[in-house]
Amino acid sequence: MGRKKIFLVGLSLLTGTAFAQSSVTLYGLLDAGLTYTNDVVKNGVQGSSVELMTGVAQGSRWGMRGTEDIGGGNKIIFQLESGFQLDTGVLSAGGRLFGYGSYVGAQGGWGTLTMGRQYDFIGWYFPAYAVASNTPAGLLAWSLPSYSAGGYSLDNRVWGDWVDNSVKYVSPNFGGFDFGAMYGFGEVAGSLGKSATTSVIANYNNGPFGASVSYYTQKNAVDSDTKRIIIGGAAYSFKSVRLFGLVSDVRISSAVRPRATTYELGAVYTVTQPLSIGLGYQYQSRNNDVGDAQQLTLSLDYQLSKRTDVYLVGAYGRDRGFGSQVVAAIGGPSSGSSQTAVRVGMRHRF
């Protein structure tokens, strides 16, 4: 992907003590393009729209990642990552300077331990099994699993959410298997459990095949209720084709106990080294007679270089419970049960 490395002089220049070499990597990603939506309601006005949207395929960001070798096969690691809107320069993640992640930790043969604001395991591992991230569709394929038409309360978090005040541990690999546990402190006086987050995961990777299963809970996620997510995914790559899919089940412990179960299947075919075609299908069922939803997504991605690609994405969604919304977060619902969106864009990584 091309990243600049800056090698820092050890603290021994000041202290006279010999330290191993450290490194800091500066990196970033920029995404911009035009999105056409055939039927959208925004600010009380209904009709088709063409908008310059940024951070759709992936959120625009810059960050620093660093390591320091402390000997014995161990190292200190850190990451600071800032998200922003490329078209306006406004910070993402609620205006936080490092809202896309900020943590420090240690890594060795015993595993990896990190502390700070960081992705839970669903947001960290499961994009590998999702339509939105295996293709350049991004927000055009995150809307249905995040349940945006219903207000995001049943978001399955696959598009990546961050957990504040968290401690995360990931084990070393044991014959293809690894596992992890994470806890986000609610930091509410008088209650250790209130607003706390718990996440565990188990992964298996062996050559072309990979699979993961994870369990997540967040107390007081919606009002005073608890959100619970169970999710599993798998992917297999052979020759020029990658197949992937996942199933997620999200429930909230309110009086009506809302629930959404989402199924995703997709494939990416590499036609030639720079050109690939992606296809994805998503289906979501809901309880309480809300109605189900489904979406079909098609993409073309062309690599101009190792750092830059241009892409074309088309998506059609149908929702029997709400006005269909194809573009998550920055899009809007349709006036009816269906919506179509087409996007042409560019990504650059540095």
Confidence band for 4, pLDDT divided at 50, 70 and 90: very low
Tell me the average pLDDT across 135-160: 94
Residue 56 sits in which domain range? 4-349
Side-chain-side CA neighbours of residue 4 (13 Å): 10
DSSP string covering 283-339: EEEESTT---EEEEEEEEEEESSSSEEEEEEEEEEEESSS----STTTS---SSSEE
- Give the CATH number, domain containing residue 154: 2.40.160.10
Q: What is the mean pLDDT of the chain?
A: 92
**Which of 19-28, 124-133, 182-191, 340-349 is predicted with the least confidence, judged by mean pLDDT?**
182-191
Confidence band for 20, pLDDT divided at 50, 70 and 90: low
Contact between residue 27 and residue 65 where contact means Cβ atoms under 8 Å apart: yes
Q: Is residue 175 scored above 90 in pLDDT?
A: yes
Tell me the average pLDDT across 308-333: 97
The residue type of 158 is V
Using left for φ > 0, alpha for ψ between -120 and 50, and beta otherwise, residue 126 falls in alpha
Q: In the prediction, which pLDDT does 222 show?
A: 76
Contact between residue 208 and residue 222 where contact means Cβ atoms under 8 Å apart: no
Q: Is residue 218 scored above 70 in pLDDT?
A: yes
Q: Is residue 38 scored above 90 in pLDDT?
A: yes
Q: Is residue 15 scored above 60 in pLDDT?
A: no
Q: Is residue 111 scored above 80 in pLDDT?
A: yes
Q: Which long-range contacts (CB under 8 A, 24 or more apart) does 192-199 make?
A: 193/219, 194/219, 194/220, 195/219, 195/220, 197/120, 197/163, 197/166, 199/120, 199/121, 199/122, 199/163
Tell me the average pLDDT across 81-101: 96
Find, among 100, 98, 102, 97, the residue nearest to 115 by Cα: 102
Contact between residue 326 and residue 341 where contact means Cβ atoms under 8 Å apart: yes
Three-state DSSP state, 143 = helix
Q: In the prediction, which pLDDT does 149 show?
A: 86
Q: In the prediction, which pLDDT does 212 show?
A: 98
What is the C-alpha separation between 320 and 256, in angstroms, rounded? 19
Q: In the prediction, which pLDDT does 190 show?
A: 64
Which distant-in-sequence residues (6+ apart) come within 8 Å of 336 by Cβ? 39, 323, 324
pTM of the complete model beyond 0.95 = no
Q: Is residue 229 scored above 80 in pLDDT?
A: yes
Q: Is residue 316 scored above 80 in pLDDT?
A: yes
Q: In the prediction, which pLDDT does 176 show?
A: 98
Token pair in block for residue 312: 């074309």
What is the C-alpha separation between 235 and 243, in angstroms, rounded? 6
In sign, the C-alpha dihedral spanning 9, 15, 16, 17 is: negative
Number of domains present in the structure of the chain:
1
Tell me the average pLDDT across 214-228: 90
Q: Is residue 265 scored above 50 in pLDDT?
A: yes
Confidence band for 189, pLDDT divided at 50, 70 and 90: low
Side-chain-side CA neighbours of residue 36 (13 Å): 6
Q: How many CB atoms lie within 10 A of CB 235?
A: 20
What is the C-alpha separation between 258 and 247, in angstroms, rounded? 17
**Each residue's pLDDT tens digit, 338-348:** 999 999 999 99
Contact between residue 118 and residue 168 where contact means Cβ atoms under 8 Å apart: yes
Tell me the average pLDDT across 244-259: 96
Question: Could you tell me whether strands 162-170 and 111-119 are parallel, antiparallel, or unpaired per DSSP bridges?
Answer: antiparallel
DSSP string covering 10-22: PTHHHH------E
What is the C-alpha separation between 11 and 277, in angstroms, rounded? 49
